Chain A
Amino acid sequence: MSATTLPEGNAELRALLHQVDKGRHRRDRLMKGLIYAAFALAMLPLISVSWTVLVNGIERFNAYFLTHSMRGVFGGMDAGGIYHAIIGTLEITLAATVISVPIGLLTAIYLVEYGRGSLARSVTFFVDVMTGIPSIVAGLFAYALFAVVLGPGVRMGIVGAVALSVLMIPVVVRSCEEMLRLVPNELREAALALGVPRWLVVIKVVLRTSIAGIGTGITLAIARIIGETAPLLITVGVIDSINFNLFEGRMMTLPVYVYRQYSQGLVPCTPGATDCIATINYDRAWAAALTLILIVMLLNLVGRLITRFFAPKNLG
């Protein structure tokens, strides 16, 4: 800067421009401080949770733990793993996604592209109501639904998937709706004016333009339901061995596994027993929790990659 070489200029104007609003500066600093403090406050639990889970879970988190089930494991044995729970969580979440995404996406398309009048309004209203359903109620609903057909006491993976999709559908509808509304109307008109029928405009222009956002929305919806415990406890139950079949028998899932292990508490080891670990149940619970967090993070990462791949490129 060569401010020194400039002439002084109009002193009056300089004074006018130089005037400092002290109150505004003070308020600015105050607000900035408050916002940083709020941010730190919000980050505190996140960091605390991540750190606690990492520290407590890392000890048991190994290849053996990830590839073995709990079959034949009892007491304080230094054995057992979460393979069966990972299978259960992935299968049930996938099934819930397969059920929810078509229903949710088609509902969103109806609301944005076709819906007018009272039907659209009532659909929006009921989607809002669905968002507020407690997860345990969704579990009871799915249990009752299947109990009507298959008799009481039925427990299998698909019932859990139905319960989770009750929770997932409104989230998918909401996020897809937002994304579809972001597509500029000009693009729809451009395609319509080329003599493209409406349904092809929706598929090839609207969905294609918003696919990245829809992908993000679905990823978030999956992250929302993958940690659900209560409805799965009712509908899928608990089991110690591996079950790949969604349509028969109980399955284990990661959140339920965490709950189950933690609720079993300390193992009463006989003094001097070498192969007995008193805290084994807690250790397994923490390691399973760590796995669940890692799966969600991985899912978000994949979602981001998909988003980047599909996003409209401006200057490719």
Chain B
Amino acid sequence: MAQRIDVKDLNIFYGEFKAVADVEMSVEPRSVTAFIGPSGCGKSTFLRTLNRMHEVIPGAHVQGSVAMDGVDLYGSDIDPVAVRRQVGMVFQRPNPFPTMSIAENVLAGIKLNNKRISKSDADDVVEQSLRHANLWNEVKDRLNRPGSGLSGGQQQRLCIARAIAVKPQVLLMDEPCSALDPISTLAIEDLIAELKSDYTIVIVTHNMQQAARVSDRTAFFNLAATGEPGRLVEIDETSTIFSSPRVQATEDYISGRFG
């Protein structure tokens, strides 16, 4: 299921503006990779290039290559819609569809694509995905109630269930806990630890303790000044980044001297 991702010479633009420059990194399969760095350094922008969500914004484009198991996701014969089915995404703010029930939200990836699915298969997908997202016990009695009636933390886990229901190979998370309380955050961190046995997970976080807790490898992004493009400073084992980083800026950032 899980795949490795190799990024080479990636430059990311919003129109004329170069937002992120010269990223080169690998994301290991069946592991959690965390992106940390100050606001505006391009971590989220870079994350969104991994499932071609970046180009949804008018004028946004990239140069360079992002290869999943050797296949360039930006190749001319690649369909971005198909890429997004393989690389799922969880957003910063929980965004369940307000017109759908909890069960329909989980099935959204199937239903919105007009795919036919038998009732029993659908029930299986809903139960498995919700169990996987540690939400089943809380919602199993109200699967037909609106998803927007859940608490913020439950909504976010519903969004994770929705993302894994389409069985992606990679799961991208863009600050999934920044709008949540500590208990919901803990629930999601536990979930990430469970999910990494099946998925390749990339998570953007502003919380360095969280990066240290959940990730196997950590990448530090920084930008020289506003108006300059963000750059990948270094990527290494999480324990190495947090104990003996090679670059001074990383140490300054994680020890709280700036950012």
**Contact present for B91 and A315 (CB under 8 Å):** no
B111 surroundings in chain A (CB, below 8 A):
204
Residue on B nearest A209 in the bound complex, by CB = B99
Residue on A nearest B96 in the bound complex, by CB = A190
B146 in the interface (beta carbon within 8 A): yes
**Contact present for B84 and A193 (CB under 8 Å):** yes
Assembled-state Cα–Cα distance A208/B112 (Å): 11
Residue interface mask A185-211, B partner, CB < 8 A = 1: 011111111111100110011001100
A184 in the interface (beta carbon within 8 A): yes
**Contact present for A194 and B109 (CB under 8 Å):** yes
* With A186-B93, A200-B114, A204-B112 as contacts: A192 and B56 at CB distance below 8 Å: yes
* With A192-B53, A196-B112 as contacts: A314 and B99 at CB distance below 8 Å: no
Interface size on B (CB < 8 Å)? 33
B91 surroundings in chain A (CB, below 8 A):
186, 189-190, 193
B112 surroundings in chain A (CB, below 8 A):
191, 194, 196, 200-201, 204-205
A24 in the interface (beta carbon within 8 A): no
B205 in the interface (beta carbon within 8 A): no
A116 in the interface (beta carbon within 8 A): yes
A190 partner, pick from B82, B95, B114, beta carbons under 8 A: B95
Residue interface mask A297-316, B partner, CB < 8 A = 1: 00000000000000011111
Assembled-state Cα–Cα distance A314/B98 (Å): 7
A194 surroundings in chain B (CB, below 8 A):
84-85, 88, 108-109, 112, 162-163, 166
B149 partner, pick from A195, A196, A197, A316, beta carbons under 8 A: A316
B140 in the interface (beta carbon within 8 A): no
B134 in the interface (beta carbon within 8 A): no
Besides the known contacts A195-B113, A209-B99, 9 further A-B residue pairs in the complex with CB atoms under 8 A apart: A187-B97, A190-B162, A192-B53, A192-B56, A195-B85, A209-B97, A312-B146, A314-B98, A314-B148
Q: List 29 A-B contacts (CB under 8 A).
A: A186-B91, A187-B95, A187-B97, A189-B53, A189-B56, A191-B97, A192-B53, A193-B53, A193-B84, A193-B89, A194-B166, A195-B81, A195-B82, A195-B85, A195-B86, A195-B166, A196-B109, A197-B81, A197-B113, A204-B111, A204-B112, A205-B97, A312-B99, A312-B146, A312-B148, A313-B146, A314-B98, A315-B146, A316-B145
Binding site for B on A (CB under 8 A): 116, 184, 186-197, 200-201, 204-205, 208-209, 312-316
